[in-house]
Each structure stands twice: as structure tokens, then as C-alpha cells.
Structure 1
Amino acid sequence: MSGRLATVAAVVTGGGFGIGRAVVEAYLAEGAAVTVVERSAENAERLLHDHPHGVQVVVGDATDPALLARAVAEAGAGGRAHGQLTCCVGVHDSFASVRELTAEALTEAGRELWSTNVLSAMLAVNAAYPWLSRSSGSVTLTVSESAFHNTGGGVLYGSSKWAVRGVISHLSADLAPEVRVNGVSPGGTTATRFAGSETLGTPTPADQRAGRDQMIADGNVLGVVPSPADHAGAYLYLADPVAARVVTGVVINTDGGRR
């Protein structure tokens, strides 16, 4: 197998749709062996149908330590020289305001979003660290423009993504020198289907929200409306054990340059 990731085995959580799926396809195109953790059996089946070679899928919740350990074990069994963990799993808060939620709903939603968007990444790192440390591996976490600006979600989603920025900063020191830790912070993206919160409900699909693409274009200096694939190059660079060998503690903003 040729390609810049030919020596890499990657675990991608949330790799069944949206940006996660685009990242999986970019990794495959560059020769990586990819193990996907995906909650939706439908998304998993579609991924395997479209990519019958090079992908294995573990269906289940990315907050389940046993499931994560299984995915890591399957990825490590292939004998590739370098391990890579990419976390794309997350749920949105439907732009909920603390002014409008009951205390009970706020408590439940906070637990759900912070567990899924933050703790799941740390659990994945916890499961993968022995493998990554043996293989001069790396971690790439998904942030969001909401971790830099008060846009793209409500306070629950935004605060969880600010926390992911902190996780990257601290883990890059904690796991050094064996493992690199970085992040990608996508901006607004066309046709992205947000994963719904069980507490707050599923947001209106992005491609059905009137005027959203124009709002995205108006909000960045390049005037672009990114697709999921537009973000994948940043993940690809950070996963490259040669090109990004000296890069850690970095977040790449793929947002067209926020205004």
C-alpha cells in the first residue's frame, strides 16, 4: 500500500457521517488502515458498503470504555508502524439558551454534551495511549469555531468545545514525548447533519436551515462555504508521521478566516 499514511493504523470515533466520514475517506486514500467507532448501525453499514476494503467498524457508543478498548485492539492488531486516534464524535445543543431551560433539563443536557463531546475523547485517549506510545502515535481531536467565537451553537455546545481546546493543550504536555496531540477546528459547513441531543432534540438539518450557507460565507473572509471534505486535509496533515513529526499542542482552524 502506498500513500503518506501507509504506515498508519487509525481509530476514528464518529467516522460514519459528516466531517468524520470525510476524514475516514481521506485517510483511506492515503493508505491508512482505519477502524471506525460509529453509534449508528445505518451509518456503519453504509460506510462498509462504500469502502469494503481497508475499513472495519465497531458499532456502539464512543463513551463506552470497553468498546473503545476493542476498537483500539482491532486497530493495533494490523501491525502498522504508527497509531493514530482521531475523535470526531459529538452532539449539538440546538442553540439552547440557559434562559429557556429548566434546571433539570440544563443539568441533564450538560451531562450529555460534556460527556459526549469532552469525556469521550479523554476515554478514547486513555484506551489508546499504550498503543500510541509504543508506535510513536498521535491524537487529533475535533474542536469547533464555537471554541473561539460565540457562534455555531449555544453555551452548552460552545463550552464543551472550549474544554476540548484545553484538553489538547494539557494532553500535548501530558503525553509528550511519545504521543503528539493536536486538533482541527472546523467552521460552518454545508450539508452537515448534527448529531441530536437526547435531552434537547435534533437540530434542523443544516441544509434545511434557510440562508445558512449564505450566513457561513458572509461570516468568513474567504467568502467560502466549506464541505466536510474541505476540513479533511488538516486532519490528514496532523496524522502524517513525517510531515507533522514536530507538531503538537496545535489547533488548525479550517473556518475560512472568521470575520
Structure 2
Amino acid sequence: MENLKGKVAIVTGGTAGIGEAVSRRFLEEGANVCIVGRSKTKLESLQNEFGERTITISGDVSEYTSHQEAVRETVKKFGKLDIFVSNAGVFDGFVSLEKLPENRMDEAFSSIFDINVKGGLLGVKAAYEELRKTNGNIIFTLSNASFYPNGGGPIYTASKHAMLGLVRELAYELAPEIRVNGVSPGGTITKLAAIPSLQDVVETIDPETRQKFIESRNPLKLAQKAEDHNGAYVLLASNQSRAITGTVIESDGGLGVRGMPNSN
């Protein structure tokens, strides 16, 4: 459990869901971690829990200054930066084109792309000079919606496809000093909700139905938990993957081989 011993990471969206799970696992693996999020209460709780091995930053990933602060404070505290995890993201609640309110399309599009796409780009821009010093690496949290339809509505799916483009372009541009990869989780049980401007048009589903729905969509019949993806992040963040860049690990229960529905 010391694959990341001595390394220093920043994790955006680290106060809940996959981001919190990754932050906790990185700490278990020996890393020091800067956790970036919006919930001041949760940030304070995590700081108290992990003490000197973490710093917490309250910020908005769509603002460059938040990323600059995270990088500056991380290097000030720990002396370097090895890993940047661009995990913060928002969702459209599967709202289809037909159900998108015309008077809220601009707002919804901007909200989702500002966090999911611009947030990642700004984070890398702020971090890459420090990552270059350590031959570090970048990991984006993508989605099954980066590859397949019906992983969200058209705005979310488009944003996640754009993030796949970022992984590939940045892997090309930042080589050989910095590796850039991604993890693509499938349906995962978290508290991720639709952005506020679309919540009133989202079809609500009770937790049990949602779990069965997710299980029905992948060959392994898994409704994944946030922790199920930790291994992929640890591998990509560690020296064991020093030959891997521009790659996405699809941690999705096998969606790419689902084929025709099995009647059994």
C-alpha cells in the first residue's frame, strides 16, 4: 500500500464521490494530497481527519485563480507536485435534447463545459510547470459517456467526449516530461446530481431502481462504488505506468463488449 510513497498530488472535486475515494486511497498509498472542493464544511472535516498530510483548498475549478492557489499552496507545503487529478465534474441528469428547456440551454451548456472541460484545461495550465520538474503525471476522470451514447444527455456526453480530446492532445504536447491519462468510470453510485438549472426536468429514480438500472447495463452486472475505480488511478499515478500516456482505463464493467443483450 505504498505505491505512491513520497509523491504529492492535487485532486479536484475531492470532497465527495470518486474524488474523495481517490484522495483517501492516495493517502493510504503514501502520498501527500491537496484536496480541492467547494464544500468548506467537508474540506474542514477532511483536514481534521488527515492532518499534516493534506491541505484543503476551497475553490471553483472554472476559475484559473483557484488552480493557481492550489498549486502554489501545495508546493509551499510539500515542496513539489507529482500528480494532478482533474476529477471535478457536473452532470445534466440524462436530460435529452427534446426535454432541454430552450431558455436554459445556454446556461446549462456553460455550466457543464466550464467545470468539466475548461476546469481540466485550467488545472493543467496551472500545474504543468511544476509537474515538468518532477516528470509527473495528469489523470482526468472521464466517463463511459466519453465513448458511448446514453451515459448522460447531449451536453454531458459532449463534454466528456471533449475531455477525451484533452487527454490525447495534452499527452502529445506534454511528452516526454509529463504523462497524461484518464480513467473512465461506468455507472457509479454517488451523490452526483444534475446541475440546478435542469433539476426540475430530471426524471427522479429511487436508489433501488437506479442500482438495478446500472447493473443491467454492463456485462459484469455491477453497480459500481466510488472505491471500485481506485486501482486504476493508483496505477496511472505510480511509477509502474511510466510507459503509459494518452491512455484511458475503462473501469465500467465491460461496456465495450456488451454486444447484443443476453437473454440468460
Aligned-partner SS, 1:125: helix
Aligned partner of 1:236 among 217, 234, 237: 234
Selected match of 1:212 from 210, 213, 224: 210
Q: CA deviation at 1:225?
A: 2.0
Is the contact between residue 74 and residue 81 of structure 2 (CA under 8 Å) also seen in structure 1? no
Deviations 1:90-133 (A, max 9, x none): 11101112222343311111111011100000000000011001
Contact 1:18 1:228 (8 Å CA) reproduced: yes
3-state SS in 2 of match to 1:77: helix
TM-score by length of 2: 0.91
1:249 corresponds to: 246
Mapping of 1:187-202 within 5 angstroms? 187-190=186-189, 192-201=190-199
Aligned length: 255
Aligned to 2:223: 225
Match of 1:144 in 2: 143
RMSD of aligned C-alpha atoms? 1.9
* Offset of residue 52 of structure 1: 2.7
Q: Is the 8 A contact 1:146 1:158 kept in 2?
A: yes
Could you state the TM-score of these two structures normalised by the residue count of structure 1? 0.92
1:10 aligned residue: 9
Q: Which residue of 1 aligns with 2:20?
A: 21
8 Å contact kept, 1:85–1:138: yes
For 2:111, the equivalent position in structure 1 comes to 112
2:74 aligns with 75
Q: Write the deviation string for residues 29-74 of structure 1: whole angstroms up to 9, x where unpaired.
A: 0110100110111221232243234111101211121111111112
Hey, what's the Cα distance between the residues in 2 that align with 1:31 and 1:50? 16
1:67 alignment partner, SS class: helix
Q: SS in structure 1 opposite 2:89? A: coil
Normalized per residue, which structure has more helix?
Answer: 2
2:99 alignment counterpart: 100
Determine the structure 1 residue equivalent to 2:261. Answer: none
CA distance in 2, matches of 1:232, 1:210: 24
**In structure 1, distance between residues paired with 2:222 and 2:207:** 17
Correspondence list, 1:25-174, <5 A: 25-79=24-78, 83-174=82-173
Q: How far, CA to CA, are the matches of 1:155 and 1:222 in structure 2?
A: 26
Is the CA contact (8 Å cut-off) linking 1:83 and 1:135 kept in structure 2?
A: yes
CA distance in 1, matches of 2:94, 2:227: 25
For 1:231, give the aligned amino acid: H
Provide the secondary structure at the position in 1 that maps to 2:35. strand
Contact 2:37 2:43 in 1 (8 A): yes
